[in-house]
Structures are given as C-alpha cells and as structure tokens.
Structure 1
Amino acid sequence: MTEKLVLPKAAEEFLARKISERIKTHYKVSRIAQQQIIMDDAVRTPGAKLLCGDDPWVLQKENGISYEYNLTTNMFSRGNISEKIRFSKFKVDEEVIADLFCGIGYWVLQIAKHQTPKRIICVDRNPNATAALERNISLNKLEKELFDIRTQDCRKVRALGANRIFLGLIPCCCFMINESTLDLFAKDPQKPSWIHIHHNYTEECGQKRAKACTQLITCDCLEESRRMGRIGLTETTVYFLLSQRASDDCRRTRRL
C-alpha cells in the first residue's frame, strides 16, 4: 500500500465542489463561500470564492444598519463595530461630511441614519463599492439626495467644502495626510473642521507610521491654513485604531 496520494491541480475545484455539496446538505444552507486573505491592493480585494450557489451578495446588520455587499468584490470588517457605534453618535447637524474611502458605506450610513448632516460626499475608486453603497442607501430607506457619490481616486478630488473628513483606510492612509487634503475643507472661520484618521498600529510599522500621523497634529500647515483663511480649522482630532487591541482607541487632539 502506498503512503500518499498526490492529486493534480485540476482536482482542487472538483473536490471543493464535492465537499461543498456535503456541507450544504449537512448545514442546510444554499450557498458556501471560502474566505481568502484580503489582497494588499488599491481596493483591498477580498478574493473570496463562492464554492456553492450563484448569488455572491450577502447581508450584514450592525447598529441598525443593513449592509449588502458582494463578498467576492468587497470586504466587510466586523472588528470595528464599537467604532461604528461611536461614529453614529457624532453631532454633525448641518455639517458637510466627506468620506474619502467610503467603501460600501461603513461609516456614512451610520451618520446618515442616526444624525442630521447637511450633505455627505462619498468617494471611492472601486466601482463595486460605490454600487453597493447606492444599493445600501435604498435598502436602509435613506434620502438619496443627501449623498454625493463619486467613483474616483480621492487624490483627484478638489474643494469639497467639507466640515468633517473621514480617512478610513486600513492599514494606513498616510499618503492623504498633506496640505492638499486641507484644501478640501470649507473656508468657514465660524465652524470647526475635523479630520478623522484610521490607522493600524503594530509593532512592526508602529514608529514609522505613527510619526506620520503625529506630524499632522503638530504640522505648521494647519496653523498656516487657518491664518490664510483656507479653512476654518479650530480643532483636529486623530483617531488611532489599534489592531492589537481593537477596543482601545487612542485619541490625540490638537487645538489651534
């Protein structure tokens, strides 16, 4: 008797289908997907595979919001529910919100559902993400007129007139921490402007990336921009989401 059996590469899909059929019958489910490592590309492609079934769209509910997304083209992070709840409590009455990495609406749907912003500008370069966002706006019965959805690279947007900007790109959005981002704010000296930065802090990249975010808090361009009337920035808050301790978020605020 031989000790091992070597199967050709072509057998992988065949076995996956056979095993999936057994799992489908045992657990009484209609669809089965295989999770993959999220790719480190521009749109964080999940790479999940649908092994059984034809419809890749799934539904996730969090804090009163229903999120529908295609699991083969969009990812969903379940680890930041506490942060979503905190975001939903921000008082943003009559504010113009700009989410430069909006995805399927992780953050903006919470704001739109639980608060009363004036307008929400949603930017994402992934057409699959903005398509899911439009679908989720309807699904949650939110006003379509409230949203300005733009499928484009956030580095190319100009003069949004925003009061609050979200930079929710994990693991790091340091490339958007610059003076051009400050030009996206409204030029209203009577209204404070906010910029929220999401950033994975790990031992490996901690010092380097934390330094980039810390520079935003202390950078001279904030004070200079305020003096020149480019923005009505009176307070900037940077949020570090610690990947090793998700519930422990470190808030640093610099008041100008």
Structure 2
Amino acid sequence: MRFKTHLTARLLESNLSGEEINLLPASYQKLGEVCLIHLNKALEKHKALIGKTILELFPYFTAVCVQKGITEQKRKPDVEVIAGKMPKEVIVTENNCKLKLNPKEIMYSHGNHAEKKRIISLVKENEVVVDMFAGIGYFSIPIAKTHPRAKIISIEINPDAFKYLKENVRLNYLSNVFPILGDCEKVLQNKTFPKANRILMGLIPSCKKYIPAAMRIAQKGTVVHYHGLAKEGKEAELFKDFSNYKVKLLQVKVIKSYKPHVNHACLDILVV
C-alpha cells in the first residue's frame, strides 16, 4: 500500500483526474532492478508519466514495465517498457536459490512463493520428481537444492526458458536436476522414462490435456500436484478431471486469485 501512497502523493499535482488517481496500481513486482506493474486501461495515456514517476520515487529500479498478459503453453510474458531501460537479464533470489531470466522473454511470479515452500516441505529424500512444465526452474531448483538426494526431471518446451533452466542449475551448483527440452506429452511417451514418486503439473490456465501423459509415469503411491483455475469455492471440482483414474484427493490449496471470483488452485492427488 505504501507504493500507491507514494505514487498518489507525487501525482496529485499532475493532470490526472481524481478518478484516474484512484486507478493507480496498488502494488508492483520486483524482478531484480525491474519494476513490473499492472496498469488499468484507463491510464494508458498517462503510462509514460507514471513510469517516470516510479523511477523518481524508487531510484534502485532501472526500468518500469507493464505486464499485459502471458501466452499459454510457452508462458512468454507480454510486457511493455514504459520508462527506463530494460536489462537483458536479472537474477531473482527466492527460497535460498538464484534464478536468472530475461524479464521480456520469461514470466516470473512471486505470488507462488508459499506454494513453492509447501511443495518443498512435502518432497522426501530419494524421490523421483517430474516437473512437467519446469520453466526456468521455479519449483525444480529449490526442490533440488533442499533435497540433494532427490532426482528432479525437469521438462520445458520453451527454448528460451530451457536455456535459463540449464543456467540456473549451474548457478545453484546442482547435480540432481536433469533438464529435458521438449513437449512433455511427447517426452513422457518414451517407454524408458522412469516412474515418478511426485509429478508437478503447474500449467495455467489448464493442464487437463496432459493428464494421460502424467499417468503414464505414475504408479501406486505417486502424488500429483495438479494446478488449474476454478470458480471461487469450487476448486475441488478440478478433481473431476481425473475421473477415469484410480486416484484419491488429498488436499485442495488455493494459491491466489486469478481474476474476480476465479482462483488458481493446486490439488494434491494420490494414485491408489
């Protein structure tokens, strides 16, 4: 809230109307020296002024960007630089791990921080963990660092993200992460692919079409962490996606609000 308070105070003397002042972003996401904000469409004509003001208020930022959306499977952010100069790469530190990325090419969400810590706490030593949508290693890297005896197989379809996945394995001195470039649906068709103790299915808005691929590497006792979007209060209904399989619902976790009355949720599902 302090962010909006400072921004509002500085822009009260500008040509923004009272209604436009109320629409100023209430928060921001820090990606290294980049400030990432969501901007109401009504403020589009003032974006340069807003960006310039943020840089004046918070001089440790070198660029202010507006996040407009994310493409689905390859999860490439649609961002616009409205002030300053975007660095080619940034390093984000989270869960005692360093993650390098290009903020114009790769998405990153601090909103999943609690969920990452939860999953890390559930992993047991010597588990085989398959991360079907690994990205730059959002889950794979901290799991591997916390559980050095676990084997993490990280699949990623986006070549840009895959490059950073490999770089982040190196950056964190890990030897138990095995990155694979490709479409997980095809990768998991390989009959020699090992069975998993834990499967991460973290594709939003939906990874329903990949359930058959996941179940090919599942076995009795495998836990699947299945992400999806659902109406508020109806998150457990995502379990219906597994109606053709012998599974048990262990837990439903609401991760964050995706949009009004729609939540991003994770279901912990046990193969029985």
Partner of 1:228: none
1:21 positional shift: 6.9
2:88 is equivalent to residue 56 of structure 1: yes
For structure 1, which segment, 72-81 or 193-202, has the greater mean C-alpha deviation from structure 2 after superposition?
Answer: 193-202
Partner of 1:5: none
Partner of 1:165: 199
State the one-letter code of the partner of 2:161: A
Deviations 1:13-65 (A, max 9, x none): xx95x986776566434621312222343212212234533523122222212
Within-5 A mapping of 1:1-256: 16=48, 24=55, 27-29=58-60, 31-50=62-81, 51-53=83-85, 55-143=87-175, 146-157=176-187, 158=189, 159=191, 160-161=193-194, 162-178=196-212, 180-185=213-218, 192-203=221-232, 211-216=237-242, 218-219=243-244, 221-222=245-246, 237=250, 239-244=252-257, 256=272
1:118 positional shift: 3.8
Deviations 1:99-152 (A, max 9, x none): 000011111111111113442111111111111111212222222xx2221121
For structure 1, which segment, 54-63 or 77-86, has the greater mean C-alpha deviation from structure 2 after superposition?
Answer: 54-63
* Conserved? CA contact 2:134–2:154, under 8 Å: yes
TM-score normalized by structure 2? 0.67
**Hey, what's the Cα distance between the residues in 1 that align with 2:159 and 2:61?**
27
Percent sequence identity is: 27
TM-score normalized by structure 1? 0.71
**Hey, what's the Cα distance between the residues in 1 that align with 2:211 and 2:129?**
17
State the one-letter code of the partner of 1:168: G
Deviations 1:138-195 (A, max 9, x none): 222222xx222112111111242122111011222111123x4211236xx6xx2121
Q: Secondary structure at the match of 1:132?
A: helix
Output the aligned Cα RMSD.
Answer: 3.5
State the one-letter code of the partner of 2:87: D
* Conserved? CA contact 1:33–1:48, under 8 Å: no
Q: Secondary structure at the match of 1:136?
A: helix
**Hey, what's the Cα distance between the residues in 2 that align with 1:184 and 1:142?**
24
**Hey, what's the Cα distance between the residues in 2 that align with 1:75 and 1:110?**
17
State the one-letter code of the partner of 1:197: Y
Unmatched 5+ stretches in structure 2? 1-43
* Conserved? CA contact 1:241–1:249, under 8 Å: yes
**Hey, what's the Cα distance between the residues in 1 that align with 2:114 and 2:179?**
26
Q: Secondary structure at the match of 2:180?
A: strand
State the one-letter code of the partner of 1:172: S
Unmatched 5+ stretches in structure 1? 1-11, 224-234
**Hey, what's the Cα distance between the residues in 2 that align with 1:23 and 1:254?**
47
**Hey, what's the Cα distance between the residues in 1 that align with 2:134 and 2:144?**
13
Deviations 1:202-249 (A, max 9, x none): 35xx86x85453341x43x337xxxxxxxxxxx665644353399996
Which one has a bigger Cα radius of gyration? 1
